[in-house]
Structures are given as C-alpha cells and as structure tokens.
Amino acid sequence: MIVMKFGGSSVANAEAIRRVTSIVAARQDRRPAVVVSAMGKTTDRLLEIGSNAVAGRRQQALELLKSLEEYHYQEGGLVDGRVRALFEELGELVRGLAVMGEMTPRSVDALSSYGERLSSVIVTEAFRRAGLDAVHVDSREVIVTDDRHTAASPLYAETYARLAGRLPPLLEKQIVVMGGFIASRKDGVTTTLGRGGSDFTASIVGAGIGAEEIQIWTDVDGLLTADPRVVKNVRRVRVISFEEASELAYFGARVLHPSTLLPAIEKNIPVLILNSYRPEVEGTRIVAERVPCTNVVKSISSKRNITVVNITSTRMIGAHGFLRRIFEAFERSQTSVDMVSTSEVSVSATIDRPAALAAIRSELEQFAQVDVEDNQAIVCIVGDNIRYTPGVAARAFRALGGINIRMISQGASRLNLGFVVANQDLEAALEALHAEFFTEVDPNVFA
C-alpha cells in the first residue's frame, strides 16, 4: 500500500485531474490511497466568501459562491447530486454567516472544509470514468482531532485504529480517495489541520495503514538547494534525511508542511516529493537514516515577512524564571516561535504569525522592555555535516559579508545555522550562500 497526495495545483482543472488519473492508474498495482487538496485556490475563495457574508455583503458573497460552483462544474466535469448537495449545504452556511455577522474558528473550519469535500468527490468520479475502481472515504470519519479549530491536532491512537480498520480492506480491490486537511472532533464536528494540512493528512494515513511509502505530488521536481524563484542554477536533492527535511520544512521550505513528517518518522516510512507535471522525474526521497554526502550543506531554506521580538530586562540579572515568563506569554497567545537567541538579560525571538503580537507585547512589558522589528526574513542553511565540520559559520559569515545580520541561531540538533536579515537583503543572502556552498555537488545526493 502507498499513499499519494496531490496538491491544489495538481487538481486545479480538468487537464490536471486527467494527469492525476494517469499517474494513479500507472501505480494501481501498489494499492494507492489518494489524498487530494482543494481545487486550485478554492480555500482562499471560500474564506473570501465568508468574509463578505459576515461583513454584511450577503449578495456579493452569494455571487462569489455561484462563481465557485460554476468553476467546480466546469473544471471538475461533474454535475451530479453529490456535488449539488454540497453546494446547497454551503449556500445555507453562507446565509447563516450573514445573519450571525461573525466567523468563529468553528465556522471557519466548517466553511473551509468544503474545498476538500468537493475535490475528493470529483476526483473519485474522474477515476471511475477512466475505468479505475475508486471509492470515496470522508476523512472526517477516520481522522479524529482535539477541538483546537483551524489548527487541530490528531488524536493518534483513535485515528490509527479507525484508519487500520477502514482502509486496508478497501485497498485490497479499490483505490481509496480522501480529502486532505479535514478531520473531526470525537463528537463529529468538523475540524481542520491548518493551512497546508493535506500533506499532514497523507502522512497520518500512511502511518495508520502501514504504507510502504508516502508520495507528495506537487508542482516542483522535489526539494531544491534553494528557492528557484530567487537563486539561479539550483539543484534537486535526490535523497535527504528526515532530520534535515524537517528543519527545511520548519524554516520555510514550501514543498512540505512542517508537521508532515512526524507520523512518517515514527513509523519509519519513506516520503517522496514528486512533480505531477513531470512524473518521470525521480523527485526527492526522504529517509530515516543519515545520508552520506561530500557537501556540508544539503539545502538553504528561507522565510519572508517574519517579526523579531527583542525582550530586555536588566532587572533579571541573576534572577531565575526570565525565560519561563517570556515563553508563557507566547504560549498563552498560541503563537509559536521559530528562532531564539538569548543572553542573561535579553532574548530575541522570531514569529511568523503576528496576529497576537499586541497581547504578547502587553504581557511582556510588565517586566521587560520590548522592541519589535517587522519585515525581516530567516535564512537557514541545513545539512547533517554541519555538526561535524569546523569553519561552517566562518564560511557563511564571509559569504554574507556585505549584509547586515540581525540575529544568529543554531538549533539544538546542530544541523542548521540560521540568520535573520531584512526582507530586502534576502535575495542577496540566498545567492551568496548558494554560491559558497554549492559550487560543486555530490552527484549521489544532488541532480
């Protein structure tokens, strides 16, 4: 059994869905469970519809909904009772939001779930019309989460039990199609795993059924040595370890959802990153064991538009509890920190979701001086050899000689070295580091 996940661009239109059908058909002997994202930018459009509804623009919301419905009929090629029923439900929800005048996290999940609910039904029927024996399984029936709406965490024991009981018998004879991103609480109320959560769904399903591998089909050839939109002559990484890929995902590699690898790591299931537009390319294979390589660095990840929060308090010299109080403030606001740099009286932390920054700042200012820097970017070099090779930091600093570095951090794993620079310096930083570390590459690891 394998799991094949296809992102929004891979199922965005009729041609893309035909391409996916062909890819799956070529692998049906491996008993695939297929996980699909919403078609194209459907999730964004659903949230736009909801925003208009609660803002009192009911008619505009309904017009946008009609346009979305026509898009699914035209590009999905399926106008039947199941799809019509889903759009009727969706219309009722939008009208209800217009009456309430607000969107709660629970209603956001209910609204945004329709993208994957629709795409999974449409793709199932596309497979059937192409002669594949496919069956649709509603992910909300087998993936159970806590009640943290819009970013729910799976309840693994119950989820794995449901997946193991439901999917393998079906996969003996049929291709299973499921929607990514969506799940439910124990009481059946719809939840979601957060943006990009379809990758996470694929990993959870793979772990739950004991898949031999998990394939993430996207619109790039695999993990690359840097962002190809910024750096020329990037190389594809043929094989990389779970540890390294996790660091890259966490620090901005868009090919993977940061949480994707967790279930796969626990079950030692390889993850492949493949291109649905170029299925002949071998992609990137992510494995549990360390990957020998003559290069120090495997890849450079980056993340724009982060915020640096600088916290300083001379009153805390020789006092304990300073760090605890700082991170409790972030925890109470459910805001995760990417990078941290500390001294006895000061801490710098980066966040990429500043929605709760005002509340965090207000709490921190009760015992410290707080300074905030917006429009910053993280650049992170990642490679298992970093921990074993002297002089890596010196090489990086030399390459970045003309760029102002705002913050430096090395992870506890010692396989990454991160820098914070201004947004406007990001391109120059990436180009300089790539030229420093990838002039020559190990052909066994890079293509």
Domains of the chain plus CATH, in order, are 2-219 (3.40.1160.10), 299-437 (3.30.2130.10)
What pLDDT is stored for residue 258 in this prediction? 65
What b/e string do you get for 112-121 counting C-beta neighbours within 10 Å, with b at 16 or more? bbbbbbbbbb
For residues 410 and 343, give the distance between their C-alpha atoms in angstroms, rounded to a whole number: 14
3-state SS class at 106: helix
Helical pair 14-25 and 58-76, crossing angle rounded to 10 deg: 50
87: CB partners within 8 A, 6+ apart? 65, 69, 72, 118
167: CB partners within 8 A, 6+ apart? 33, 137, 142, 176, 205, 208, 209
What pLDDT is stored for residue 316 in this prediction? 58
Tokens of 23: 């890819």
What pLDDT is stored for residue 412 in this prediction? 62
3-state SS class at 4: strand
Q: What is the DSSP letter of 126?
A: H
Tokens of 333: 């606001």
User: Is residue 6 a contact partner of residue 36, using CB atoms and an 8 Å limit?
Assistant: yes
User: Is residue 334 a contact partner of residue 351, using CB atoms and an 8 Å limit?
Assistant: no
What pLDDT is stored for residue 357 in this prediction? 92
Match 């490679």 to its residue by tokens: 383
Output the CA–CA distances (angstroms, integers) from residue 32 to 40, 134, 202, in the order listed.
Answer: 23, 10, 11
Beta bridge partners of 213: 2
Rounded to a whole number of angstroms, the distance between the first and last alpha carbons of the chain is 28
Residue type for position 341: S
What pLDDT is stored for residue 257 in this prediction? 72
User: Is residue 175 a contact partner of residue 133, using CB atoms and an 8 Å limit?
Assistant: yes
CA 253 to chain centre: 9
H-helix or E-strand spanning residue 421: strand 416-422
Tokens of 132: 């594949």
H-helix or E-strand spanning residue 330: helix 322-332
pLDDT along the chain (447 residues), means of 10: 96 96 97 97 96 96 97 88 94 96 96 97 96 98 97 96 98 97 97 88 97 94 92 94 87 74 90 94 93 95 93 72 87 88 85 89 91 94 92 94 90 82 96 96 96
What pLDDT is stored for residue 319 in this prediction? 64
For residues 252 and 67, give the distance between their C-alpha atoms in angstroms, rounded to a whole number: 33
Residue type for position 383: G
What pLDDT is stored for residue 305 in this prediction? 92
Let me know how long the chain is: 447
User: Is residue 35 a contact partner of residue 214, using CB atoms and an 8 Å limit?
Assistant: no
What pLDDT is stored for residue 164 in this prediction? 98
3-state SS class at 322: helix
Handedness of CA 135, 141, 144, 148 (dihedral sign): positive
This prediction has a pTM of 0.87
Q: What is the pLDDT of residues 244-292, one digit of tens each?
A: 998 888 777 777 776 778 899 899 999 999 999 999 999 999 998 889 9
Tokens of 246: 């996790």
Tokens of 21: 């059908």
